[in-house]
A = this chain, B = another copy of it.
Amino acid sequence: MKLKLEITATDGLARTGVVSTARGSFATPVFMPVGTRGAIRSLSTHELAGLRTAEGSRAEILLANTYHLMLRPGAETVAALGGLHRFSGFTGHMLTDSGGYQVFSLGPKVTAEGARFKSTYDGTSYMLTPEGAVKTQELLGADMQMVLDVCAPLPSSESVLRDAVETTAAWAARARLAHRRTHDQALLGIVQGGDNIMLRRESAQRTVELDFDAYAVGGLSVGETRERMLPALQSALAELPVDQPRYLMGVGDPLSILEAVSLGVDMFDCVLPTRLARHGTLLTDSGRLNIKRAEFARSEDPVDPNCPCATCANYSRGLLRHLSCLGETTAHTLCTIHNLTWILGFVDQIRRAIANGKLEEFRSQVTPVWSTMGPGLGE
C-alpha cells in the first residue's frame, strides 16, 4: 500500500501534511515512540494512548522492534494473538523495523543470503534474510514495515560503506518481491551510504527504482556528529519522491529533528525520550533537567507548569526526585509520560512553525537550548 503525503504547507525544504494509510491518516512531521517489545518501556499502552499535548495531539504511531518480538514471544505467537495492534492494545498506527539494526549490533555472520546471529535471549542461532524479515513483519502486522538493510557503523571505510549499499540494494529487491501483505501494509525501502555524499545519492536512486511504498534513511546517528550527518541526509533526500513520506531512522534529539525537518524529513523514531526518562532526565523547553539533583528535594513546583501531562498536573519535582533516587519504577513511568508529551509537543510546534512560515524563527529560538545534545541513541 503506497503511502502518499498530501502536503499542506512548506517552508523551504520543510513540509507539513497528512499521510493516508489503510488505517486512517497521520499528520507530519511525526515522532514515533519506541515500544520495544510491544509496549513502551515503563509505560502501559493505555497511558500512551491517553497522552495529549497542549495542542491536543497524541502519539499517532508506535514503533515496535522486530528483533525482540521475533524472539519473544515470536512472530507466529503475535499473529495468533491477533497481530501487533491487538497484542499491544494500541489502536493507532504501528511500524516495525526489520530487526537488522539489533542484529548488526551483535556482529552477525553476513552472507549474500542474509545475516546469521545468536539470540541475546538464549544463544540460539538464527538466520535473518530479506524474505524472512518481510514474512516476520507480515505476521506482526504493523501498518508499516521496513526492509532488511545493512547498517555500517561510522566511521567506516568507503569500501565497507560501498558493500553495505550493494547488499542493501540486493536485499531490498528481494524484499520488494517477497512482500505479499500489500493491501494493508506499506513496505519502506531504506537508503544507506554512511556519511558518503555520493553513496547516499546512489543508494537513494537505487532504492527509489524499486518503487517502495515510502522511503527511510538509515545508518545515520550511529556515532557521527550532526555536522557529518546532515549533508549525507540531504544528499539522500534530494533523490526521494516529494509526495511520499521520508523517515529518518533512530534520530530523535530535538535539534536533529529540527534540522532534518528543515531538509524535508517527515518521520522520526528514537528511544531518547523514554531512555532519558528512566535515568531521571527530563526534557523541558529550557533543556534537560536531571530530576535527581539535590536542589529539587523540596521543590513543590511541577517539572513544567505549562505542561499538560499527568506528571506535571499531579506531582512535584520533590516527589519525582524522591522516587527517582530510590529507583522506583513509578518514577520511570512518570518521567516517560512527561518526556513523550514534551517531544510530541515539540513536533507540534514544528508543524505549526512550518504552516506559519516561521521555521527559521523557531530554529533560532531552539538551537541554543539543544545544540549540546548530539544525535545517536539507537536501541
Contact = CB atoms under 8 A, between A and B. Distances in A.
Interface of A: 37-47, 72-73, 77, 80-82, 86-89, 297-300, 310, 313-316, 318-319, 321-323, 325-326, 328-330, 332-334
Contacts of A43: 330
Contacts of A44: 310, 330, 333-334
Given A81-B316, A297-B77, A72 B334 contact: no
25 contacts: A37-B328, A38-B323, A39-B328, A40-B330, A41-B330, A44-B310, A44-B330, A44-B333, A45-B314, A72-B322, A72-B325, A72-B326, A73-B297, A77-B297, A77-B322, A80-B298, A80-B318, A81-B298, A81-B300, A81-B318, A87-B318, A87-B322, A89-B314, A89-B319, A329-B329
Contacts of A72: 322, 325-326
Contacts of A87: 316, 318-319, 322
B330 A86 contact: no
A329 B46 CA distance: 15
A109 to B, nearest CB: 27
Nearest to A74: B297
B77 A319 contact: no
Nearest to A310: B46
Contacts of A328: 37, 39, 41
A29 to B, nearest CB: 27
**Total identical chains:** 2
B82 A323 contact: no
Q: Taking each of A41, A42, A333, which has the highest tally of chain B beta carbons within 10 Å of its own beta carbon?
A: A333
Closest 10 interchain pairs by CB?
A89-B314, A329-B329, A81-B318, A80-B298, A73-B322, A39-B330, A46-B314, A46-B310, A89-B315, A44-B330
Given A43-B330, A44-B333, A314-B45, A82 B300 contact: yes
Contacts of A45: 314-315
A272 to B, nearest CB: 19
Given A300-B86, A319-B87, A333-B333, A37 B314 contact: no
A73 B318 contact: yes
Contacts of A38: 319, 322-323
A329 B336 CA distance: 13
A299 B87 CA distance: 10
B42 A329 contact: yes
A73 B296 CA distance: 11
Given A77-B297, A297-B77, A333-B333, A319 B88 contact: yes
A332 to B, nearest CB: 7
Given A44-B333, A81-B318, 18 more contacts: A38-B319, A39-B319, A39-B328, A39-B330, A40-B330, A42-B329, A44-B310, A44-B334, A45-B314, A46-B314, A72-B322, A77-B297, A80-B318, A86-B300, A87-B319, A88-B319, A89-B315, A329-B333
Contact of A298 (B77, B329, B332): B77
Contact of A318 (B42, B77, B297): B77
